[in-house]
């Protein structure tokens, strides 16, 4: 999809081109391996991913934890940094070549002052992001590694089919060897 | 505060009474120990807490985990259930007598169709809820028990002064004895 098509789908609108959106939008391309938002950088934009795959990581003591993956037709940004205007403690990286569109912080905030549709879309997308985070919190608090993997298989089959096993393990907070054991058990 | 005062403060408005709000609002009172939203119940409302304290718990295998606390002048609800219309996997309980106001699901959804201000407030409150959840995820992934407690002391001094130590331990996912050790170390 283009962002305009995504916008129309969520808000049941019929805007013909990006000129009808409440904010300007710019197309851009990320090469595989390219860092989109660096650790310590204040996030300047929200992105719509037309094609490709992006990972979000968090620096920890010894390792880098994987917090999230984003796929085509999803929005992504270092959301906490974007909203608070503080330096980002997460990094966003393109896992393959990506086509994306971006909306700049200032343009979005201007639209939020007076556009009903901009506020509706923003609210709906943050509601979805909240639900994803809240479910992840509940998984961490109450599920075994095996249940977490089974749930991912059921709810996010894309993750399993597109992302290397060692990254899946880091995303679930599970030791890679434990995950291999779980996968053998489930697949047998 | 009343909800109307809270609404005016966040949106820089000057509404004189709840009749000027984009949705009807009802006052209610919860007694200490009263269950506000039960496990398995689909959440019907969002609440504004004028006074009192509320806890949100999650049923796990052996124990009940504490996910969140809410204080006066905050909104609360079983948000995932409210948004998805699925049975709640969390429970909300009044930890002391509470004065609150509520907005019903249907009334809020009606307001969201056409009110710019209702969408603005909804977006801003969900942004705040998202930031709280995202920070908690990062704490779980990258902080030691001692760092988590120190952070709570710095960012949420209310938690420490109002909530019994055993509940704080369950909220941080720390063994109560480890927490006592950490507290002695920090206080000495």
* Cα gap B151→B157, rounded to integer Å: 9
**Residue B18 has what DSSP assignment?**
G
**How many CB atoms sit inside 10 A of residue B14's CB?**
7
**Maximal CA-CA distance, chain A:** 56
Q: What's the pLDDT at A157?
A: 85
Contacts of B39 in chain A (CB under 8 A): none
The beta-carbon neighbor of A123 closest among B122, B142, B173 is B122
Contact B116 A112 (CB under 8 A): no
Q: Which helix (H) or strand (E) holds A133?
A: helix A116-142
* Cα gap A172→A160, rounded to integer Å: 12
Tens digits of residue pLDDT in A39-91: 999 999 999 999 999 999 998 777 788 999 999 999 999 999 999 999 999 99
Q: Which residue of B has its CA nearest to A172?
A: B141
Interface confidence (ipTM) of the complex: 0.91
pTM score, whole prediction = 0.92
Q: What pLDDT band is residue A27 in, cutting at 50, 70 and 90?
A: very high
CB B74 within 8 A of CB B68: no
Q: Which residue of A has its CA nearest to B11?
A: A113
Task: State the smallest CA–CA distance between residue B73 and chain A in angstroms.
Answer: 21
Q: What is the DSSP string of A50-85?
A: EES-EEEEEE-SSSEEEEEEE-TTEEE--HHHHHH-
Q: What's the pLDDT at A18?
A: 96
Dihedral angle of Cα B125, B130, B135, B136, to the nearest 10 degrees: 100
The beta-carbon neighbor of B141 closest among A65, A123, A135 is A65
Contact A141 B65 (CB under 8 A): yes
Q: What's the pLDDT at B161?
A: 85
Contact B119 A120 (CB under 8 A): yes
Q: What's the pLDDT at A152?
A: 86
Dihedral angle of Cα A7, A9, A10, A13, to the nearest 10 degrees: 70
Tens digits of residue pLDDT in B17-76: 999 999 999 999 999 999 999 999 999 999 999 999 999 999 877 778 899 999 999 999
Q: What pLDDT band is residue B174 in, cutting at 50, 70 and 90?
A: confident
Q: What's the pLDDT at B60?
A: 76
Rounded to 10 deg, the angle between the A105-114 and A116-142 helix axes is: 110
Q: What's the pLDDT at A36?
A: 98
Give the end-to-end CA distance of chain A in Å, rounded to a whole number. Answer: 37
Q: What's the pLDDT at A90?
A: 95
Q: What pLDDT band is residue B136 in, cutting at 50, 70 and 90?
A: confident
Q: Please state the rounded mean pLDDT for residues A140-161.
A: 85
């Amino acid at each position: 999809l283009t962002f305009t098509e995504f916008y129309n789908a969520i808000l049941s609108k019929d805007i013909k081109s990006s000129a009808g959106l409440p904010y300007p939008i710019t197309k851009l391309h990320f090469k595989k391996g390219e860092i989109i938002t660096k650790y310590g950088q204040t996030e300047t934009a929200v992105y719509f991913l037309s094609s490709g795959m992006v990972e979000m990581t968090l620096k920890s003591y010894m390792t880098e934890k994987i917090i999230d993956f984003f796929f085509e037709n999803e929005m992504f940004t270092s959301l906490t940094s974007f909203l608070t205007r503080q330096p980002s403690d997460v990094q966003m990286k393109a896992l393959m070549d990506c086509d994306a569109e971006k909306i700049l912080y200032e343009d979005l905030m201007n639209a939020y002052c007076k556009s009903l549709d901009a506020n509706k879309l923003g609210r709906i997308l943050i509601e979805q992001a909240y639900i994803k985070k809240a479910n992840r919190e509940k998984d961490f608090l109450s599920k075994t590694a095996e249940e977490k993997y089974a749930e991912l298989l059921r709810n996010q089959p894309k993750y399993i089919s597109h992302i290397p096993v060692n990254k899946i393990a880091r995303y679930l907070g599970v030791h890679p060897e434990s995950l291999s054991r779980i996968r053998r058990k489930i697949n047998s």
